[in-house]
């Protein structure tokens, strides 16, 4: 297990699920990834559930509030990027053409956050850690292993994230599109690819990948637990095998079985 104590600024550090049925979501993800759950108080916001693997936090889960549901916010996974200052990151994001959807605000003593939107419409969050650094394990089966931006304007998105986080971009040709690897220094921080026309009216979004030991078996388990397979297990040369899944409430995520040695 790759245990993590801190996250470098400009890299993804946390992921959380907003859902319409907390208990059903707990059951689905516990069955799929063998996660444990621990409920904690979130003050006026109610209960926040920590998703854990062998006692270390992997992510969080909470019930979408009535106001969010009334506004049409669907169940979704939200990915967080570590920053030195949530306030400064919010100011910089808006100056670069992005938008602020919530915050900056304090989350008890855990840290300070903002929910932001890039110029192409994709939503993400930033996290200024205090008592909680973020995910305590990653790049192992059952934990976060990759984050990927799907957008209709990779050039605008690349300019925004380069300005906000200092990412550098490297294009990698693929069979049907170009894939961009976003790096923070020597660390590969994320990926980016254009939304293809055959995908239909899909909005720009960040997709979270969780590592698995057997992509086909876990995809089949997700289906048997009530999930829907959006993209069947597929090989990516030199990378591994992945599948895109929609949980029973409608939140979308992906799983990745890395190629041995990748």
pLDDT in tens, 128-137: 999 999 999 9
Both 16 and 83 in a single domain? yes
**Residue numbers of the domain that contains 62:** 12-129
Neighbours of 47 (CB within 10 A): 12
Helix spans in 73-209 (H): 86-95, 154-165
Based on the fold, state whether residues 91 and 18 are members of the same structural domain.
yes
Paired tokens of 246: 């929609």
Q: How confident is the model at residue 241, as a pLDDT?
A: 97
Q: What is the pTM of this model?
A: 0.95
Kindly state whether residues 175 and 239 are assigned to the same domain.
yes
By C-alpha distance, which of 251, 254, 202 is closest to 233?
254
pLDDT score of 179: 93
Q: Are residues 235 and 199 in the same domain?
A: yes
Helix (H/G/I), strand (E/B), else coil: 28: helix
Q: Do 120 and 161 form a contact (C-beta atoms < 8 A)?
A: no
Among 129, 162, 187, identify where a domain stops.
Answer: 129
- Residues in the chain with pLDDT values less than 50: 1
What's the domain count of the chain? 2
- Give me the pLDDT at residue 1, please: 47
């Amino acid at each position: 297990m790759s245990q993590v104590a801190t996250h470098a600024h400009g890299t993804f550090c946390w992921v959380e699920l907003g859902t319409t049925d907390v208990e059903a979501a707990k059951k689905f993800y516990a069955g799929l990834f063998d996660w444990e759950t621990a409920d904690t108080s979130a003050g006026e916001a109610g209960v926040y559930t920590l998703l854990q693997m062998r006692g270390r936090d992997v992510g969080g889960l909470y019930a979408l509030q009535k106001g969010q549901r009334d506004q049409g916010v669907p169940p979704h996974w939200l990915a967080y990027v570590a920053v030195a200052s949530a306030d400064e990151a919010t100011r910089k994001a808006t100056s670069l053409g992005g938008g602020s959807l919530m915050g900056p605000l304090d989350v008890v003593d855990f840290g300070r956050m903002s929910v932001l939107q890039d110029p192409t419409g994709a939503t993400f969050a930033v996290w200024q850690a205090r008592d909680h650094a973020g995910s305590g394990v990653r790049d192992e089966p059952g934990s976060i292993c990759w984050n990927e931006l799907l957008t209709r304007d990779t050039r605008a998105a690349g300019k925004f994230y380069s300005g906000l986080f200092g990412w550098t971009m490297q294009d990698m040709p693929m069979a049907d599109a170009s894939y961009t690897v976003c790096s923070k220094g020597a660390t590969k921080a994320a990926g980016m690819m254009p939304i293809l026309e055959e995908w239909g009216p899909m909005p720009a979004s960040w997709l979270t990948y969780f590592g698995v030991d057997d992509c086909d078996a876990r995809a089949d388990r997700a289906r048997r637990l009530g999930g829907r397979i959006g993209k069947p297990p597929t090989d990516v040369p030199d990378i591994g095998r992945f599948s895109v899944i929609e949980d029973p409430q409608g939140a979308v995520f992906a799983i990745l079985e890395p190629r041995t040695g990748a």
